[in-house]
Amino acid sequence: MATIHIDDSKPFPYFPAEPNNKRETFADFCKRQETGLNIVSDEMEQDKWEQAEMQELMKKSCERKKALFYDNLDLILRHRDEIRGTPRYANIDAHYLVRGGGLYVGPLSLTRRYNFAGTPVNINLKLSTLLEVWDNAQFKVECGCGGTAVIRSFVGSPLSGGSQATAICPCCKKEIHVRNRNFGGYYGLLRIMIDRDIEKVARNIAARWTHAEVNYGKKVAEGKDAKWNKAGSEFYGDGEFCNLETMINELKMKEFKAQCEAEKL
């Protein structure tokens, strides 16, 4: 009688040992099942669901902010110089306000997610940068009402250079369709601008850390007790944080006060 010998010490079919090869032998599978240990645990699944819920909430928040922004586009453009000159306004996240992408190149991401020593950091297109982008002729369209509309979405092809875009008018709020402007003019400029914002943030952090080390060194040199702290105690970020909602309210208040003053005269 023939004996069938099953060698289960190797996965079947045989897969070469690769660092990412998670396939296990049948014997290992049975042993793992006995202990009740899953490759993806319930806790891992739970975290995945929670992250997905937070992402969903973030998406809804961005949609609401986007609607608020474009409802107040006239107010924001009236104060463009003030926004650019006020760091707490200039640095407001604007990555969700413009959408663009093309064939072969995919969607253009105006937010970049990093992992620094296990710490997640997001760097986004800044509001002042978006206002600067809108200063370019490529991103402006004359509206029938006499106002100047700004581009807020585009698609196209880097090969043919063709594109379709939509602009919104701050005066009459009408959406205008714009055809066949050079695709590279949209995509290339925004790419350069997000890269510039990333550089700005990275240099800011590097400069603040250098400053922290210098300050700490000075304290040590002055003979101050440095036993219970390190340069990390001297590390500070920018001042006050401001969100879009606060900025819009502050600008409205400012215009209201100016109107009241004008009425008194």
Q: Does 168 bind Zn ion (CB under 5 A)?
A: no
In whole angstroms, the minimum distance from the beta carbon of 247 to Zn ion comes to 24
Residue 217: CB atoms within 10 Å:
13
Nearer to Zn ion, 25 or 148 (CB): 148
Nearer to Zn ion, 174 or 257 (CB): 174
Nearer to Zn ion, 174 or 254 (CB): 174
What residues contact 228, with CB distance under 8 A and at least 6 apart?
none
In whole angstroms, the minimum distance from the beta carbon of 140 to Zn ion comes to 12
Q: Which of 105, 108, 171, 226 binds Zn ion (CB under 5 A)?
A: 171
Residue 17: CB atoms within 10 Å:
7
- Rounded CA separation 26/38 (Å): 14
Q: What would you report as the CA-atom Rg of the chain, rounded to the nearest whole angstrom?
A: 27
Q: Which of 169, 194, 244, 251 binds Zn ion (CB under 5 A)?
A: 169
The span of 44-52, 144-152, 192-200, 213-221 binding Zn ion (CB under 5 A) equals 144-152
In single-letter form, the type of residue at position 112 comes to R
In whole angstroms, the minimum distance from the beta carbon of 239 to Zn ion comes to 37
Q: Does 172 bind Zn ion (CB under 5 A)?
A: yes
Cα 102 to the center of its chain, rounded Å: 19
Q: Does 100 bind Zn ion (CB under 5 A)?
A: no
Nearer to Zn ion, 133 or 169 (CB): 169
The span of 41-49, 80-88, 136-144, 182-190 binding Zn ion (CB under 5 A) equals 136-144
- Rounded CA separation 199/160 (Å): 31
Q: Does 178 bind Zn ion (CB under 5 A)?
A: no
Q: Which of 131, 143, 168, 190 binds Zn ion (CB under 5 A)?
A: 143
Q: Does 198 bind Zn ion (CB under 5 A)?
A: no
Q: Which of 27, 52, 68, 145 binds Zn ion (CB under 5 A)?
A: 145
DSSP code at position 178: E
In whole angstroms, the minimum distance from the beta carbon of 142 to Zn ion comes to 9
Residue 209: CB atoms within 10 Å:
14
In whole angstroms, the minimum distance from the beta carbon of 137 to Zn ion comes to 18
Phi, psi of 167 (to 5 degrees): -125, 160
Is the Cβ–Cβ distance between 186 and 151 less than 8 Å?
yes
Preceding amide of 13 cis, omega within 30: yes
- Rounded CA separation 23/18 (Å): 10
Q: Does 77 bind Zn ion (CB under 5 A)?
A: no
The span of 4-12, 80-88, 169-177, 250-258 binding Zn ion (CB under 5 A) equals 169-177
- Residue 216: which of 203, 234, 198 has the closest Cα? 234
Identify the burial level of 60 via C-beta atoms within 10 angstroms of its C-beta, where 0-12 means exposed, 13-18 middle and 19 or more buried: exposed
Is the Cβ–Cβ distance between 31 and 65 less than 8 Å?
no
The footprint of Zn ion on this chain (CB under 5 A) covers a number of residues equal to 7
Nearer to Zn ion, 105 or 171 (CB): 171
Q: Which residues bind Zn ion (CB under 5 A)?
A: 143, 145, 147, 169, 171-172, 174
